[in-house]
Structure 1
Amino acid sequence: MTDYLDPRFPGPDPYAPLGEHPSFDLTSDDFANGGTFKEPQLGGNDVSPQLSWSGFPAETKSFAITCFDPDAPTAAGFWHWAVFNIPADVTELPSGAGDETLGGIAQAVTLVGDSGKRGYYGPNPPAGHAPHRYLFAVHALDVAELDVPADATPTVLGFNLYFHTLARSIYWGWHENK
């Protein structure tokens, strides 16, 4: 599902090179799919949104969650959040769970994003650049644990997700600093 493709946004479809995968239900109580964010989720406040998912493949052994801004004025976008090794029986994260410990889920590994922070960093595009999309992707994986070091980059995680994703759902919002 590529409802996040819209001519208002300057960046590419970052998931196009990653192949087609089935989708599943992904929702948030904190913002509407394709809508704008509330103040707590924005950069500087950095309260990760509530997310819940269902309908993923029965053979799912773990999940990874990423938040990516493909519209950042860089050649590589901007990673706002990357966490993996979320057990398959976890199907919801409450608001604010995006800290370093993912709300106390022991197996989960949270990487340092492009902000330099280990945990969720909210939308904060450069003033006057353009509206930016923030793509929250939940990846259903075929392994219980990915062998990715805790000091790896979100790009390294993304490379590993390419080989282990059974299904992927994207829920997105946007923000602009004028």
Structure 2
Amino acid sequence: MTRSATRISRRTFLLAALTAAGASVSLGACATGTFPFIPDHYTFSRQQVQDAVQRKFPYQRSVSQLFDVSLTNPVVELLPERNRVSVRLDVRLTSPLIRQPVNGAFMLSSELAYDSASRSVVLRSPSVDRVDVDGDAAPYAQQINAVAALVATQLLNNYPVYTFKPDQLQFAGVNYEPGTITILTNGIRAQIVEK
């Protein structure tokens, strides 16, 4: 009985060991070469970026003493085909040049980059893709576009949308950092490479 119990437990052990080895091979495909259990990328969601951007708003600013700008309700979208992130903002403009306050929306887009000083993925070089305004603002479209570009640059350039914890970028004395950042349909993937 002991001999047959020993045979069964050896078979069970070997089967478990082979299963574990197969599992570690499939997990290793996503790992770095140096340490097979360190991931080769991190993926964070559109919602995480939305939450980070949301903290910046509402935002109010006076521009060139001609426009008072109020920005609210940011909505983040992922643009994988352009490898960019877009942010739609509701805007309200008041100015002595315009009889009534103007309501509308700014559509901005930005590439993403890694800032090693803050260990963050940041919005880099945001640009204004579209400005939609209503009311009497049509004659001032050029000035409103300039205001949108200024606000976008000052407000969102180098703004962090995801900050890595120290333990995500270091293991056993080896430092890692994000490499290529790719916008996917369901999230943002940051490749992790040895520093």
Could you tell me the TM-score, scaled by structure 1's length? 0.29
Could you tell me the TM-score, scaled by structure 2's length? 0.27
Instruction: Specify which structure has the higher proportion of strand.
Output: 2
Instruction: Specify which structure has the higher proportion of helix.
Output: 2
Bigger relative contact order, structure 1 or 2 (CA pairs below 8 A, ≥6 apart)? 1
